[in-house]
Chains A and B, each alone.
Chain A
Amino acid sequence: MLMVRHVSRAARFLAITWLATLVTTQTGFCQSDLPTTEPELLAILTGDAPPARKALACKGLAIHGSPAAVAELAKLLTDPQLASWSRIALEAIPGKEADEALRKATESLEGNLLIGVINSIGIRRDVGAVELLTARLKDQNSEVADAAAIALGHIGGGDAAKALQESLASAAPSLRNALAEGCILCAEQFHANGKATEATALYDQIREADVPKQRKLEGLRGAILARGDAGLALLAEALQSEDKRVFQMALGTAREIPSKEVDKALATEYGRAAPERAAILIAVMADRPETANSALILKAAGPGPKPVRLAALAALGRVGNENSLSTLLDAGLDEDAEVVAAAQAALGSLPGDGINQEIVKRLSAADDNLLRLLLETIGQRRIDAIPELVKALDHPEQPVRAAALIALGNTVTPQSLNVLIAQAVAPKLADDGTAALAALKTAAVRMPDREECAAQLAAALNRGAPAAKDAILEILSEMGGPKALETVGAAASGNDPQLQDTGSRLLGKWSTQDAAPVLLNLAKTSPSDKYHVRAIRGYISLARRFAAMPEPQRLEICQNALDVAKHPADKKLVLDVLQLYPTVASLQMAIRAREIPQLKDDATAAALTIAGKIKGNEEQVNEILAKAGLGKKKS
């Protein structure tokens, strides 16, 4: 145990604190004095310490224990309360002593305690225990026999495998499940160690044995994988199975094998599968992009059984190419809404360097429906095709123009934003106004230079029709930023009643702190009580919503609001804010607010609430309360 002796003091301290936390609770039961040297931990085990302390000593020995601790730990294996703690250490301590102690314990234990020890033997992969575990396969207690079978599986190797195989041949039905699992575990180790022949034999035995279905499926998967290329015939057979679970296991296994031969097997089975199965086979093909049979998938995406078509359309979105475009466009114009949706999704993600160019190229020869779809796809894929989109704004069909506007919303640059602004402010056709404003909003909120965009919108505000003006203010509100704030603030305090209404409404729900002075100014100067209320409430809400706001700034807002608010109901909102952020300063402000006649009772209640919430500062808080004649803080 060289490592144990070299453990640093820091590590030992940390181990103490870690172990202490294991017994630290909200009720405060703590044993922080637990030692971390092996002799001291052993002394706890051999002494008359309570079980809780012995349990923790076992945990300590899992880190610090050496073979010298094994004998004392082994004594606890018969203790129903401490056996599990003991095994935590015994599983962790390296060396033959722990192996031997666990083996020895199997001679006298029974029931769950025996099972626990057998489990630990399996985890330690004790080859020396194969013989005793083999004997336990015939234990009268079937759960002990089960545990022995699984432990043998974990240990693996020729002897363990042989014992499991031989037992399986004559085992009672109740034991076959565990024996089969043990065999599978052994086979897995054989396979991992390059012993494919041994692995295959075991897997095949399980496939053919009278064991639960799940074990047979595991045998099937293993038999396919262990055989390598020779396993493909078995895979093909499984893909043809009428048994749903066998088919499902084959689908998963097919994804694990990179060979192109798997794609051939999938294609073969696809050719004779019912639509529901064919659709799932296409999903498997799409998960193999390096070798997928794209021609088959492309064909399946054409008219035919709907489940197959939907699966193939989805697959093309991942593994398609330039050749898939026509098929997808045809599907995008189908009468079936699900087909259309699947095609549109695939058009949006279709891989291929030349796709975007080809889509734009097809615009000139497209009929109205195809044109609409192509325009939608341009927007979806963010293809740079501004001239073509602008040209489409003159198209006689409204759906085409709407598609062009949506695409413009997704693709215009700061340099071409004016195209959309012009459409929004003064659409060529009245029908396009709503779509143009929606597109403008889409574009505006994603512009990299927000201030420049806001400036353009502010300049357009005066040119628009009334409905457009409101919409532009809404867009500015969504965008945020200094210019937007300035513009909306000016509208709220201007002379146009409509803009006053819209502007004050938007300002009242502004989402950044820089709106504070604008809101305060509006609250002070607005001749309209309605707008005053909107402004003062919006102003107070800034202090409420921003938890990270510096306290002086929050208190300044609160004080200003108390001074400027015309209505007691609004002043009370300030008290809510003070209670939400309880500090000595907010307490003092609440106490001062008691001087406002309409607020006295509420402010008194608020002050007491704040005082109760303040952590620490007991003396100062009580002093402030006493000075205000409010007694002492409630504990």
Chain B
Amino acid sequence: MSKTNARLHRRGFLKSTFSAAGAAVLAPTIIPASALGLGGTVPPSERVTVGGIGIGNRGSYDLGCFLEQKDVQFTAVCDIKEARRIAVKKQVDSLYGTQYCSMYQDFRELLDRDDIDAVLIATGPNWHATAAMAAARAGKDMYCEKPCTKNIAQSLILKDTMARTGRIFQAGTQRRNLPHFAFACELARTGKLGKLKRVYAQPRGMTTLMSGWQPAEPEPEKNVIDWEMYLGPAAWRPYNANLLDGFNFEKGGGFIAGDVRTPNIGGGLLEWGSHCVDLCQWAVNDCPPPVEYNPPKDGQVLTRYESGIELVFRDDGWIPLGSCPVRFEGEDGWVEAGDSGKIVLSSPTLLAGRTVEEIGGYPATFHVRDFLDCVKTRAQPKGNAEAACNAHIVCHAANIAVLLNRKLTYDPKTNEFVGDEEANRLRSEALREPWRI
């Protein structure tokens, strides 16, 4: 208990050291021209100051997209791993020719800074929702990697919190800002395919399991790896280096692997579903989540919207168009798109005179740009909280149907499964103390 009590006084600690934290940043003797908006750069008053929380593999990619934007001033990094903190600071300071980038081990210290407008949250999925909600309460806009939530309850709270706090939230569903995916979704949404019948998403199985309670190993120095912060809202377990893969740790709460009898379905529903299903949701005009979820059959998980449109998770049967494919079928035509940047259509007339190359695909930078523009105008970005909420609910609900291996009926108005207490109990999960969302 003494250790527990010792952690209680963080706020007092922060209050007494906040100014010191600021002072820890080396004050430059010469302010570079870039900081003054000279030399063609964006003046400080028009920049969005950004801090990064959890900058690992994916975060580094996101960070690169942010640093490409001239109106971004990246000012601080937080990571539970010392090596990552140092690496990001070095990268950022080198780019700006300054020593401004501050380092933090506890993201709450970063959020306490009044001079940061927005944060990039690229921790492992275990932390996404908790950190996002804390950021919103602290008045920060955020770009948050996916999967954004661990269960249905978190998805709903995410949407409500962003609305209540008036924060701009962009889920890391960058395909919403890729022209070829947007085009495919538009064909479906605007009736160009005729009456929409079926949309397909590829969950892409994940067989590596990295959660659980493993034998205790000697815990590294807190300054090197802060295990307490790494666990964060996840239920307690001892340190074990195998669990340090943030990408897989506690993804989707207890659903990391789903039904192990069908290794292609499970946690993957959330990992890739948060992309593919998100696009399917866009194709159906971001309507409420499906009302019917069926257990796996013949390699597919079939769900059905209230309108009768089917959303099908399947791993096989795709045209080879790269990862994260989607397919939309209407009465008059179909379209399929994937990460290769290519689109295949039932008829070239759907292109309306354009070419696939002309429509274009990557880079993913568009998504970051969309976010930054919305930070300034307060418009809703493409991967906004409501869209992310619905897409994640679809994945979580499908995961529960897989887990329970039975058909479930979901009521999007009450956000409850109809007549299935077990399914309803799986909609949320307590967070470890003292965390909340």
Contacts and interface: CB of A to CB of B under 8 A. Distances in A.
- On whether the two chains bind one another, the answer is yes
Interface of A: 3-4, 7-8, 10-11, 14-15, 17-18, 20-27, 29, 51-52, 55-56, 59, 62-63, 80-85, 87-88, 90-92, 94, 110-113, 115-117, 119-120, 122-123, 141-143, 147, 150, 174, 181, 184, 188, 213-214, 217-218, 221-222, 245, 248-249, 251-253, 255-256, 280, 283-284, 287, 382, 410-411, 442, 445-448, 548
Nearest to B210: A25
Nearest to B235: A84
B139 A283 contact: no
Interface string B406-437: 10000000000000111001101111111110
Contact of A382 (B214, B354, B420): B354
B378 A251 contact: yes
Given A17-B261, A111-B5, A11 B405 contact: yes
A10 to B, nearest CB: 5
Contact of A111 (B8, B209, B349, B405): B8
B139 A217 contact: yes
B211 interface: yes
Given A56-B213, A111-B1, A445-B357, A284 B377 contact: yes
Given A82-B236, A150-B436, A24 B257 contact: yes
A18 B166 contact: no
Given A8-B406, A22-B213, 5 more contacts: A23-B213, A92-B429, A221-B164, A280-B376, A411-B353
Nearest to A192: B160
A103 to B, nearest CB: 16
A410 B352 CA distance: 10
12 contacts: A4-B422, A15-B404, A22-B213, A23-B214, A84-B235, A85-B235, A111-B7, A119-B433, A142-B11, A188-B160, A218-B165, A221-B164
Contacts of A188: 160, 164
B88 interface: no
Contacts of B138: 214
Given A11-B422, A56-B213, A252-B166, A287 B236 contact: no
Contacts of B1: 80, 110-111, 113
B19 interface: no
B434 A7 contact: no
B15 to A, nearest CB: 8
A548 B428 CA distance: 42
B379 A255 contact: yes
Contacts of A245: 139
B404 A23 contact: no
Contact of A119 (B139, B214, B426, B434): B434
Nearest to A213: B139
Contact of B166 (A11, A80, A174, A217): A217
Interface of B: 1, 3-5, 7-12, 137-139, 160, 163-166, 208-215, 235-237, 242, 254-261, 266, 320, 347-349, 351-355, 357-358, 376-380, 403-406, 420-422, 425-426, 428-436
A123 B258 contact: no
A379 to B, nearest CB: 9
Contacts of A410: 353-354
A84 B139 contact: no
Q: Which of B5, B237, B261, B434 has the most CB of A within 10 A?
A: B434
B242 A26 contact: yes
B236 A84 contact: yes
B242 A25 contact: yes
Given A23-B213, A181-B137, A446-B353, A112 B257 contact: no
B433 A29 contact: no
B235 A88 contact: yes
A188 B1 CA distance: 36
Contacts of B8: 111-112, 141, 143
Contacts of B166: 217-218, 221, 248-249, 252-253
A269 to B, nearest CB: 14
A82 B237 CA distance: 9
Contact of A52 (B213, B379, B434): B213
B432 A116 contact: yes
Nearest to A249: B166
A11 B404 CA distance: 5
A475 B426 CA distance: 57
A147 B425 contact: no
Nearest to A250: B378
Contacts of A213: 139
A182 B20 CA distance: 30
Contacts of B353: 382, 410-411, 446
B5 A110 contact: yes
Contacts of B237: 52, 55
Nearest to B3: A80
A374 to B, nearest CB: 18
Contacts of A83: 236, 433
Nearest to A23: B212
B421 A3 contact: yes
B318 to A, nearest CB: 11
Q: Which of A84, A119, A280, A446 has the most CB of B within 10 A?
A: A84
Main secondary structure of the interface of A (DSSP, over half): helix
A447 B377 CA distance: 41
A188 B165 CA distance: 12
A142 B242 CA distance: 36
A7 B426 CA distance: 15
A51 B261 CA distance: 27
Contact of B428 (A91, A283, A284): A91
B434 A147 contact: yes
A51 B405 CA distance: 29
Given A20-B260, A411-B353, A111 B4 contact: yes
A566 B9 CA distance: 78
B5 A90 contact: no
A63 B425 contact: yes
Contact of A85 (B208, B236, B436): B236
B235 A55 contact: yes
Q: List 10 tightest A-B contacts by C-beta distance, closest first.
A: A116-B433, A21-B257, A214-B139, A84-B432, A23-B212, A52-B213, A251-B378, A382-B353, A115-B434, A87-B430
Contacts of B429: 62, 88, 91-92
A121 to B, nearest CB: 11
Contacts of A20: 260
B215 A143 contact: no
B242 A214 contact: no
A184 B136 CA distance: 14
B78 to A, nearest CB: 19
Contact of A29 (B214, B260, B351): B214
Given A27-B242, A382-B352, A448-B348, A113 B433 contact: yes
A4 B376 CA distance: 52
A236 B347 CA distance: 51
Nearest to A412: B353
A448 B352 CA distance: 11
A572 to B, nearest CB: 28
Contact of B260 (A17, A80, A141, A221): A17
B349 to A, nearest CB: 6
Contact of A446 (B254, B355, B379, B420): B355
A548 B321 CA distance: 13
A95 B214 CA distance: 33
Contacts of B211: 22, 25
A411 B358 CA distance: 14
Q: Which of B352, B357, B378, B433 has the most CB of A within 10 A?
A: B433
A80 B4 contact: yes
Contact of A63 (B139, B164, B422): B422
A196 B113 CA distance: 34
A270 to B, nearest CB: 14
A604 to B, nearest CB: 34
A454 to B, nearest CB: 15
A88 B426 CA distance: 10
B272 to A, nearest CB: 18
Given A27-B242, A284-B377, A448-B349, A92 B165 contact: no
